Amino acid sequence: MTVLAENTFSPATRKRRFTREDRLPVAVGLYVFLFLAIALPLGLMFLWSIADGWPPPHVLPQSYTTERWAGVLGDSGLLRAAINSIVIAFIVTFATAIIALPTAWAMARFSFRLKRAVEIFILAPIIIPGIVVAVGIGQVFLALGLAYSVTGVILVQIVGTLPLMIRLMTAALETIPDDLLHAARSLGAGTFGITRHIVLPLAVPGLLAGGLMSFVGSFEEFDKSFIVGAPVVETLPIKLYMYLDPYSMQLPLASIVSFLLLLPALVIFVIAGRVLRDDLMAAGMGKI
Amino acid sequence: MPTCLRDRRFLLPLLLAPGVGYLLLFFGGPVASALIGSLRMEDGTFTLAWYVRIFTRPSMLRGLGTSIYYGVAPVVVSLLVSVPLSLAIRRHFVGRKLFSGLYKLPLAVPGIIVGLMIIVLFERGGFIDRAVAPLGLGLPKLVRDDWGVGVILASVWKQIPFMTLIITSAFAAIPEDIRFAGRTLGASRLATFFLVEVPLAMPGITAAVLLTFIGSMGSYAIPDIVGPPTARPLSVLMVNEFNQGRFPQVFAMGMVLSVFAVAVLVAYYTLTSRIGDAHGHGDAK
Amino acid sequence: MTMLAITDITKDYGASRALHPISLSVEKGEFVTILGPSGCGKSSLLRIVMGISQQSGGEIRLAGKRIDMLPPERRDIAMVFQSYALFPHMTVEQNLRFGLRMKNVPKAEQQRRIAHALDICTLTGLTARMPRQLSGGQQQRVALARAIVMQPNLLLFDEPLSNLDAKLRDTLRHELVALHRRIGATSLYVTHDQAEAMAMSDRIVVMNAGRVVEIGTPLELYRSPKQAFTAGFLGQTNLLAVTASGRKGQLPWGQPVDLATEAMGPAQVSVRPESIGIRACDHVSSAPATVADVSFMGASALYTVAVGETLLKVSQAGGDALIEPGRTVALTFPDRLPVLEDRALADRVPSREAA
């Protein structure tokens, strides 16, 4: 019977062939573009960090050294800044999530008369330029004595992370069907049980997206932290800014600090990038 | 749970309190106090002098103009790249999933680092300059130049992934049957795109454009690092004034920037209210 | 004349075949329905005809010209979608005008056609409304009007009534039939609803698992199906095994029946529930039939009758009294029972054709 013959795979048929549907030219073009736009600059920065002097006209460094990395990693001031950044980012993310959850729940499940006004108010910290928020808070904190303190930096950063977290979580919570909650109640679940077993698990995509954006946002936040914290409280971005003073720029050191600043954020981003849903992110970040 | 808390009238404000309350306290309050501060002299009398200064002193006027320029120019360039890019990635191609993750990387890169990257690449004596030197060419001044090309490049680099993400989602939300309907009625791919898809994706596209514009109009780090010292935007001037303690002036500048941003937002709402919900279903379910 | 000719169309997804070679034709002015269960490939076939999906093999001719290589906008076919697919950002009138603009129809002619379509779809007065302001039935009519205003060579319908509730579906079905009688457009209609197919079509193409099972008029397919699948899918039936000798056959419990065609040996017949006569009878014959269950359906009563090991569905119209479960009944079978070319049965018989 001919049926048997069709089932055997000859080795040749297992080789992957590109079909027209793969759009190879488009793929190649896009990846080249990606390489030039992202990989190239990052690579160059890395070269600067390990180059032992890189005078013109050389296109590539002639000699390399790891001294600078060693020096930087041993610099206690930088280490302190790094620890500051990490600790602040964790606290900010955690606090933002806790503050945002009840509000996001209200926005997702209820309709009420002033809802649109509340929506716009939540959007406002994103609309009002960050520097305006920063100087506004900066002056108040100066008066309150919260300036130049880690607490002040944390409080001011939450203003920046809260809107996005609320919006992302609202988008996630909106997707929970009413019937699910009714069913849970009819099966005897109380409010705490529903929150723990239904709401939180289903809110995970929103929590993840919001948590990620908050952490990264806090870690690399500059404008507000600079106004409120510098020069006493130093985060990594502030440290980096100081290396980029146009009149005394230290490119190699700046490169190293840049990577210290970038690496955690990039790693988290790549890991979570596999879990994040585009439609959720667009809904949270792109609607006004 | 006590029954009174079940009552919506209590429950709703209680739920809203943490988020809205926090923002009222740490955002609304300071902004309101900044508004008040911008209208007062040191002795407490009401004045509009600080605002007058902004619109009369050449350096301030130039600052406002530069802010708007740094808002508009990058957005235009970003749009020109983002729209074709989102069209290119919406259909399948080999390696699409990986690309969809990678192109978002700039979202995680802070503005200061982008500034550094521009310097490394485009500065006189930077990589590209050295790379084309053997050919007898030299790079024109692109960093800290009068046109702020460095600022625009840095802003564009950060903005393209954001805009592409939003625009792609806006197009993806259009049911494919509507696209097919356009085709079956005689519209070519291109005609369907311009006459059917773009209008329906407009709310999403304009939202992306607006948010990006507002963001780059008010940004501080990038213009400060790679922008020319001769044409500094209001955001940079503001920090100067802040460091010199002239708070009322700072607040007035901040208010001007904010009003501008809000005005653009209002324009957006009025323009898009006509289109309405793109996915009306009538009673059919 | 043949308006649409589909020849050996296939569709493969990688190594798996969704559509086996399909061939069918539609005459000018005919209303042909493709009927089949979900997943049988009918919508895929329709999309291939429309051009929004690419076939893997075969060709399609419209009015004699090959169209399978053309993009959808050049095929002179209009489609009515299940989701209506009205342009949300355009008024009803703009929706109707869109296709006419695309084909550069002169302004005066545009007006005439739009007015005509609005009239026969009972949409006058709604021209300035936006789709979201319309009810489901109105939206569907607009979708219909938008298609017929193009005066295409072929009208395609992709389960247009599925999203409507039952009453609305009935109303619109009648309107569609009336419309077709009035404008006589060649139509290819896809549905999974067999009642809809039988009520509307000149001919029905029955599909299952990517293949055409049988083609015929509603009457032919209902009264004299050739395949077991057709018999089972259109309305209700009893598929019974008989032992045939010529034009006579014997049911499993020995009752003799009259066959429509000649057959020898084991065969399968289709007996519609409404064609079996049933009356309460206390005489116990050699093969007693007992009522196992009765369902009152309003206009009829549906009995489940047990004869030996077989369970039969018997339907009796009207009547005053229902026969209670447990009663013995006598069954009379109609003449000329259709004998099915039951493939399943035939496979067990060694065939002379090489496999």
The pLDDT of residue A260 is: 81
The contacts of residue C158 (CB under 8 Å, 6+ apart) are C43, C46, C47, C79, C80, C81, C82, C190
**C62 shares contact with chain B (CB less than 8 Å):** no
Neighbours of chain A (3+ CB pairs under 8 A): B, C
| Distance, CA of A102 to CA of B5 (rounded, Å) | 14
- Show which of residues 31-60 on chain C sit within 8 Å of chain B, judged by CB atoms: 50-52
Tokens, residue C120: 């026969």
Pick the more confident residue, A196 or B143: A196
Q: Residue B141 carries which side chain, given as an amino acid letter? A: K
Angle between helices A76-109 and A150-174 in degrees, nearest 10: 40
What does the pLDDT read at residue C354? 37
ipTM: 0.80
Residue range(s) defining the domain that contains residue B139: 39-272
pLDDT in tens, B168-197: 888 988 999 999 999 999 999 889 999 999
Nearest CA in chain B to C104: B186
Ramachandran region, residue C308 (left: φ > 0; alpha: ψ -120 to 50; beta: rest): left
Q: What is the CATH number of the domain that holds B171?
A: 1.10.3720.10
Q: Tell me if chain B has a CB within 8 Å of the CB of A189.
A: no
Which residues in chain B (40-59) have CB-CB distances under 8 A to chain A? none
Residue B29 counted as domain residue: no
By mean pLDDT, which of B136-145, B226-235, B245-254 is the weakest?
Answer: B136-145
Domain residue spans of chain A: 68-286
Would residue B211 count as lying in a domain?
yes
| Contact criterion met (CB below 8 Å) for C255 and C333 | yes
* Residues in chain B within 8 Å Cβ distance of A274: 101
**More confident: A165 or A253:** A165
Contact by Cβ (8 Å): B248, B40: yes
The pairing of beta strand C187-191 with beta strand C31-35 = parallel
Instruction: Return the pLDDT at B33.
Output: 84
Residue B280 lies in a domain: no
Backbone φ and ψ of A188, nearest 5° = 105, 5
Q: Which residue in chain A has the smallest CA separation from B99?
A: A31
Number of domains in chain B: 1
Q: Is residue B28 part of a domain?
A: no
Q: What is the phi/psi pair of residue B115, to 5°?
A: -60, -45
Chain C residues in contact with A2 by the CB 8 A cut-off are: 355
* Domains with residue ranges and CATH for chain C: 2-223 (3.40.50.300), 236-347 (2.40.50.140)
Chain A window 9-48: which residues touch B at a Cβ cutoff of 8 Å? 18, 21-24, 26-27, 30-31, 34, 37-38, 40-42, 44-45, 48
Q: Which residue of A has its CA nearest to C354?
A: A1
Instruction: Closest CB to B211: pick one of A126, A135, A220.
Output: A126
The residue length of chain B stands at 285
pLDDT tens-digit series, residues A90-147: 999 999 999 999 999 889 888 888 888 888 899 888 888 777 888 888 878 888 887 7
The DSSP result for B249-263, as a single string, is HHHHHHHHHHHHHHH
B175 and chain C in contact, CB less than 8 A: yes
Whether the CB of B124 is below 8 Å from some CB of chain A: the reply is no
Lowest-pLDDT choice from A164-173, A247-256, B8-17, C240-249: A247-256
Beta-bridge mates of residue C154: C77
C91-143 pLDDT, tens digit each? 999 999 999 999 999 999 999 999 999 998 989 889 999 999 999 889 999 99
User: Would residue B230 count as lying in a domain?
Assistant: yes
Using one digit for the tens of pLDDT, what is the confidence trace for B14-56? 888 888 999 998 888 888 888 888 888 777 788 888 888 888 8
Superfamily of domain A68-286: MetI-like (1.10.3720.10)
Rounded to an integer, the average pLDDT of A39-59 is: 79
Lowest model confidence (mean pLDDT) among A158-167, B11-20, B216-225, C342-351 = C342-351
d(CA C48, CA C55): 6
Residue C71 to chain A, least CA–CA distance (Å): 17
Q: Does position C85 have pLDDT exceeding 50, yes or no? A: yes
Which of B22, B217, B265 has the CB atom closest to A288's CB atom? Answer: B265
Between chains, do C150 and B182 touch, taking CB under 8 Å as contact? no
Q: In this complex, which chains have at least 3 CB pairs below 8 Å with chain B?
A: A, C
Residues of A in contact with B110 (CB under 8 A): 220-222, 237, 261
The CA distance from A200 to the nearest CA of chain B, in Å, is 16
Q: What are the chain A neighbours of B168 within 8 Å (beta carbons)?
A: 278, 282
Nearest by CB: B27 against A102, A124, A255: A124
A-chain residues near B99 (CB < 8 A): 27, 30-31, 34
Tokens 């802040």 correspond to: B242
* Contact criterion met (CB < 8 Å) for A273 and B104: yes
Q: Chain B: residue nearest C136 by CA?
A: B284
Q: Compute the nearest-CA separation of B203 from chain A (Å).
A: 8
φ/ψ of B232, rounded to 5, equals -95, 135
Within 10 angstroms of residue C307's Cβ, the number of other Cβ atoms is 19
Q: Given an 8 Å threshold on Cβ–Cβ distance, is B254 in contact with A135? A: yes
3-state SS class at B216: helix
